[in-house]
Amino acid sequence: MGALKIVLTVCFILICIALVVLVLMQEGKSAGLGSISGAAETYWGKNKGRSMEGRLVKFTKILAVLFMVIAAILNLKVF
């Protein structure tokens, strides 16, 4: 069981670092003044899920779920 805890801890640390990097790579929700006047509804605004920003958001959600699951597993008293 000790080896499994070490492997999970290393994975947890790597996920933590990747999560921080992904969050820092994302744009802010209020990036630019065009969103105030409604100019955000452009081609890139409508197809945001297919863009690089959309993929960053998706990977961030996946890593956040993995972060929570591994944190819960490491917190169990089984190890």
Q: What is the pLDDT of residues 14-64, one digit of tens each?
A: 999 999 999 999 887 765 555 555 555 555 555 666 788 889 999 999 999
Q: Which residues contact 44 (CB under 8 A, 6 or more apart)?
A: 51
**Poorest-confidence range of 7-16, 30-39, 65-74?**
30-39
**How many angstroms separate the CA atoms of 48 and 46, rounded?**
6
Per the model's pLDDT, the better-predicted residue between 4 and 41 turns out to be 4
pLDDT in the model for residue 45: 57
pTM above 0.75, yes or no: no
